[in-house]
Amino acid sequence: MSDTKTATKEQPASTKDRPIIVKGARVHNLKDIDVEIPRNEMTVITGVSGSGKSSLAFDTIYAEGQRRYVESLSSYARQFLDRMDKPDVDYMQGISPAMAIQQKAASSNPRSTVGTTTEIYDYMRLLYARIGHTISPKSGRRVKKDSTKTAIEELHRQHDEGTKFYVLFDIPEHEEKKLDDELRVLKEKGYPRLLHIEDEQVLDLTSEDIDADDINAEEYRVLVDRLILGKDDETHTRIAGSLETAFQEGSGRCSVKIRDGEELNFSERFEMDGIEFSEPTPQMFSFNNPYGACDKCEGFGKVSGIDEDLVIPEPDKTIREGAIAAFSGEKFSKHLRDLIKVAARYSLSIDTPYQELSEETKEILWNGKDEYTGIRPFFEDVKSQSYKVHMRVFYSRYRGYSRCPDCKGFRVRPDALHVKINDKHIGEVAEMTIGHAREFFEDLQLSEFEKEVAEQVLFEIRKRLKYLDEVGLQYLTLNRLAKTLSGGESQRISLANSLGSSLIGSLYVLDEPTIGLHPRDNDRLINILKSLRNIGNTVLVVEHDPEMIKAADNIIDIGPFAGVHGGEVVYSGTYDNLLEANTLTGKYVSGRKEIPVPDERREGNGKSIVLEGAMENNLKDLTVEFPLGKLICVTGVSGSGKSSMVHDTLYGAVENEFGSYKDEIGYHRKINGLHNIDSVEMVDQSPIGRSSRSNPATYTKAFDGIRDLFANTRQSKIMGYEPGHFSFNVPGGRCENCKGEGIQTIEMQFMADIELTCEECGGKRYRKDVLQVEYRGKNIHDVLNMSVSEAIDFFVDEERITNKLQTLDDVGLGYVKLGQSAPTLSGGEAQRVKLAKFLSKSSGNHTLYFFDEPTTGLHYEDINKLLDSFNELVNNGHTVIIIEHNLDVIKSADHIIDLGPEGGFAGGKIVATGTPEELVEVEESHTGQYLKKVLK
């Protein structure tokens, strides 16, 4: 696994049970803190967002674990150690090599799947190579290789002792008219007799009057021996000897003709029904290398071409109603008329919905008949004219991916699919969900021999499937592409992999493992972390979830607030004592402070957007109403279809209407009511900018006002500076040595890049003369170093600036420095910077906002503030749609759409809709049942 950074080495016994001790940690905002983390226990680090949890867990403790690991490596690797960022700490003890399980995407290989990243597919390849049966597609019989031994066994199985038979091989292949040469060679080798296979007459080549032209070589075999079937040693040896000779002379093939009976064919080659098959090897099943990958699609399972779903977007329409979208315009309607003519001739129904048409009719629709061209040839023709712009545009409307015709989407070379275990080829097993595959491998029917060779491999497969099932991923299919997994899903896969690796004495550091998990599945996750601890590991979890906090052996609460107002240990100890503690976390978990349930649910504006016939992924033909002017929560267990419905389909369709949606839009029949909104925004946790040139001040445009202010000072006017001189993004006033970054990045060959402060400006980003310009005693660099709250006080009379900054403060980011570069903001912080920008926009129009698990990285206190922002948006006339598992958010919604009941195939339905109070009444709704506890 590429995202499980492993660092293992046996620890000397003495350090095994010593606690982890950190003294004087000062990374980022940490205020010279000391912490002690007991070994072989589970510790939760909590605290408001931005308080310093990651700085402690990842940037201090895990980073040191990594350093220790490098230290334990070769001297070659060690030479880079000095240059590795050493966490700013006075003293650390008891740190073992650490493993971080983060939410990063699992792999960059576009072909990687759940099966390959968990190694299950690799073991399956081994299993198929070892015990797979190759089945001839012609006769359905098993392909086997014969040997002298198996041939004799076969003879005994089919015939009684005393049976008379001939041992034969075919006359070797030869060029036309060269049969006499061949016969001469046979004679010289000592095989002078041919047997006629029908009448069993022997032809003696030594006799004079043989003319090769009279012989039909196919009717004859070369006779090796005449024998009588028997089991005594002498007979056995003779039979074996003759068969061996026959195999050898017949280039691996020979036959036995029973006297007055059948001919049995034997081959040492791997063949059946006249087809020679490749013998299974593990490489043959690998779609990641050219040997095993399907040639046509190079292992992707899909080829580009015409997307059937785009050509027939509404399969419940009939042909007469215009099911074939491409023919519905004026331009190509001739094809539709041709089709209707031909349909009449062959009495094909044009008044039956497309989806109910027979395969034969569809075949004609797609491939044509008589004067009707057919959809596929039609598009071939269009494609050939793509030098014309309008044809190219037309074609691109229907272009997409379709299942590869050669491998049927199974990605491996087609002959690999002839190899089966319990009637399933490897592609069929890869298509199974983890839950289903687990049953398949538990219930395999194997012979004793197969059991023996497969035992170890099966053990590995079953073990991995079991852990994946336990972390709640039973709904994922093995062939699911890794790059399409959510952060939470990939993290849980890594977790399952760690459980499977059964390393002990390690330190595991996890980042909010409950992300993406419904409260129903939290218990299971907690139990898994406990078992990781129980087998002898130290588990450190950054987490906000109340259940997880409750389950921890120790809690370290970082606070009291964020950024410069945080970075201290405000509590450390057991859960019971935390209940009494006078910290934000203590108050919330004990219920002394809580997020209030709203007094009433908003009515909305009476309008709505209705999505009809949503069928993407597992969605079961859903028709869903989204009432506008409300705070809407979409809930459901992981894999129930929330993202498929909200992100892929609804957001895709709306964004496509108002902007340009780049991905494929989830399949749906219709969407109504889009005229009721004016614009759309998706607020996810992606960074607000990758370059260090973006920061909260530039992103919210507060910096524009600040630059104008500096340009307008007397000093600046004397020097002739423009606002541009106060930008670090364009040449003029910035330091050119570092191009306004304040740091210089040195590329390292084997390690992450290292960053050094710019020597020229000392990290101040601007030229010396520009820094001499001051506004009320501060230069531009001083301003960038202010926190948002400080800047609000400082620029108190400048509304143009404070308005923008106030919104940052409102979403709880008062502690962030104006100049803190975007990539160093946490996901939660980045999300709130975006939110601030929206809140500062005018509220005249109606915007539909989407949020995907906005509580990621947020503490109760942060969620409280976030809800205020949501409510402000809705009260200003907008609509907010949130995918969320957090019960405090769900209980605050005006309207809930609960999907389920389970994940994957067993999900994709609407379980309940309505207000939180209404949901509680629905027994089948997992969400409703959990909501009951918080609504009281």
Q: Which residues bind Zn ion (CB under 5 A)?
A: 294, 296-297, 404, 406-407, 735, 737-738, 758, 760-761
- The conformational region for residue 126 under phi > 0 = left, psi -120 to 50 = alpha, else beta, is alpha
Min dist CB 737 to Zn ion, Å, is 5
Which range, of 216-224, 292-300, 704-712, 812-820, touches ligand ADP by CB under 6 A? 812-820
* CA dist., res. 621 & res. 613, Å (int): 5
Q: Please name the residue ranges forming H helices in 72-138.
A: 75-78, 114-117, 120-131
560 binds ligand ADP (CB under 6 A): no
What SS3 state is found at 782?
helix
Look at residue 407 and give the partner it binds from ligand ADP, Zn ion, none, a contact being a CB closer than 5 to 8 Å depending on partner kind. Zn ion
CA distance 537 to 554: 15
User: Which partner, Zn ion, ligand ADP, none, binds residue 296 by CB below 5 to 8 Å per kind?
Assistant: Zn ion
Q: How many CB atoms lie within 10 A of CB 729?
A: 15
Applying CB under 6 A, among 639, 696, 740, 812 the residue interacting with ligand ADP is: 639
Concatenated DSSP letters of 559-603: ESSSGGG--EEEEEE-HHHHTT-SSHHHHHHTTSS-PPPPSS---
Asked if 634 contacts 642 with a C-beta cutoff of 8 angstroms, the reply is yes
**Among 52, 409, 500, 742, contact with ligand ADP (rule: CB under 6 A):** 52
CB of 901 to ligand ADP, least distance (A): 12
CB of 278 to ligand ADP, least distance (A): 31
Instruction: Single out the residue of 317, 318, 322 nearest to residue 333, CA to CA.
Output: 322
Q: Is 904 in the site for ligand ADP (CB under 6 A)?
A: yes
Could you tell me which residues come within 8 angstroms of residue 780 by beta carbon, excluding any fewer than 6 positions away? Answer: 706, 707, 710, 726, 766, 770, 771, 773
Shortest Å, Cβ 262 to ligand ADP: 52
Write down the least CB distance from residue 760 to Zn ion, Å. 4
Window contacting ligand ADP (CB under 6 A); options: 66-74, 474-482, 743-751, 804-812: 474-482
User: Smallest distance, Å, CB 282 to ligand ADP?
Assistant: 26
Q: Check binding of 403 to ligand ADP (CB under 6 A).
A: no
The count of other CB atoms within 10 Å of the CB of residue 853 is: 24
Return the amino acid letter for 789.
S
Q: Quick one: which of 11, 49, 572, 583 contacts ligand ADP (CB under 6 A)? A: 49
For position 47 contacting ligand ADP by CB under 6 A, the verdict is: yes
Indicate which single residue of 11, 43, 51, 807 sits in contact with ligand ADP (rule: CB under 6 A): 51
| Selected binder of ligand ADP within 96, 255, 643, 789 (CB under 6 A) | 643
Q: Does 847 contact ligand ADP by CB under 6 A?
A: no
The reply on whether position 472 binds ligand ADP by CB under 6 A is: no
Among the listed ranges 420-428, 531-539, 717-725, 825-833, the one in contact with ligand ADP (CB under 6 A) is 825-833
Q: Is 694 in the site for ligand ADP (CB under 6 A)?
A: no
Q: Does 644 bind ligand ADP (CB under 6 A)?
A: yes
* Integer Cα distance of 814 and 202 in angstroms: 104
Q: In 3-state terms, the chain is what percent helix, strand and coil (to 5)?
A: 40, 20, 40
**Residue recorded with tokens 């170093």:** 785
Regarding 475 and contact with ligand ADP (CB under 6 A), the answer is yes
DSSP string over 41-79 = SEEEEE-STTSSHHHHIIIIIIHHHHHHHHHTS-HHHHT
What x-and-dash track marks residues 16-35 binding ligand ADP by CB under 6 A?
------------xx------
* 819 lies in the site for ligand ADP, by CB under 6 A: no
Q: How far is the CB of 785 from Zn ion (least distance, A)?
A: 15
Q: Please name the residues in contact with 245: beta carbons below 8 A apart, sequence gap of 6 or more.
A: 167, 224, 225
636 binds ligand ADP, rule: CB under 6 A: yes
53 binds ligand ADP (CB under 6 A): yes
Residue 930 as a binder of ligand ADP (CB under 6 A): the answer is no
Residue 94 interacting with ligand ADP (CB under 6 A)? no
Cβ distance to ligand ADP smaller for residue 604 or 819:
819
Q: Report the partner that residue 473 touches, choosing among Zn ion, ligand ADP, none (CB closer than 5 to 8 A by kind).
A: none
The CA-based angle 788-790-796, given to 5 degrees, is 100
Nearest approach in angstroms of CB 886 to Zn ion is 43
Count of residues in contact with ligand ADP, rule CB under 6 A: 36
Q: Which does 49 bind (CB under 5 to 8 A by kind): ligand ADP, Zn ion, none?
A: ligand ADP
Residue 742, both tokens: 């304040």
Q: How far is the CB of 647 from ligand ADP (least distance, A)?
A: 8
d(CA 364, CA 710): 74
- Pick the stretch among 64-72, 633-641, 791-799, 831-839 that binds ligand ADP (CB under 6 A): 633-641
Calculate ∠ Cα 729-734-735, nearest 5°. 120
Instruction: Name the residue with tokens 């900054």.
Output: 805
Residue 583 binding ligand ADP, by CB under 6 A: no
Cβ neighbours of residue 458 under 8 Å, at least 6 residues apart? 127, 441, 444
Q: How far apart are CA 847 and CA 880, in angstroms?
A: 8
> Contact 45/558 with Cβ under 8 angstroms?
yes
Give CA 802 to chain center in angstroms.
Answer: 42
Asked if 830 and 796 count as a contact pair (C-beta separation under 8 A), the reply is no
- Residue 642 binds ligand ADP, judged by CB under 6 A: yes
x/- map, 190-229, ligand ADP, by CB under 6 A? ----------------------------------------
Distance CA 574, CA 892 (A): 30
Is there binding between residue 725 and ligand ADP (CB under 6 A)?
no
Smallest separation (angstroms) from ligand ADP to the CB of 905: 7
Q: Give the integer Cα–Cα distance in Å for 36 and 21.
A: 5
Would you count residue 476 as binding ligand ADP (CB under 6 A)? yes
Report yes or no: 640 and 616 within 8 Å, Cβ to Cβ.
no
Q: Does 43 bind ligand ADP (CB under 6 A)?
A: no
| Cβ nearer to Zn ion, comparing 217 with 754 | 754
Candidates 55, 491, 727, 892; binder of ligand ADP (CB under 6 A) is 55
Which CB atom, from 338 or from 829, has the smaller least distance to ligand ADP? 829
Smaller CB separation from ligand ADP, 267 or 638: 638
Q: Give the interface segment with ligand ADP, choosing from 3-11, 181-189, 631-639, 839-847 (CB under 6 A).
A: 631-639
The first and second tokens of residue 630, run together, are 């409300």
Helices 448-470 + 120-131 axis angle, to 10: 170
Q: Mapped to the 3 state alphabet, what secondary structure does 864-905 carry?
A: HHHHHHHHHHHHCCCEEEEECCCHHHHCCCCEEEEEECCCHH
Position 559 contacts ligand ADP (CB under 6 A): no
3-state secondary structure of 213: helix
What contacts 897, CB < 8 A, 6 or more positions away? 624, 626, 632, 633, 634, 635, 910, 913
55 binds, among Zn ion, ligand ADP, none (CB under 5 to 8 A by kind): ligand ADP
Judged by CB under 6 A, does residue 892 bind ligand ADP?
A: no
The smaller minimum CB distance to ligand ADP, of residues 39 and 647, is found at 647
Q: Which does 484 bind (CB under 5 to 8 A by kind): Zn ion, ligand ADP, none?
A: ligand ADP
Question: By the criterion CB under 6 A, which residues form the site for ligand ADP?
Answer: 28-29, 47, 49-55, 475-476, 480, 484, 562-563, 617-618, 636, 638-644, 815-816, 820, 824-826, 829, 857, 903-904
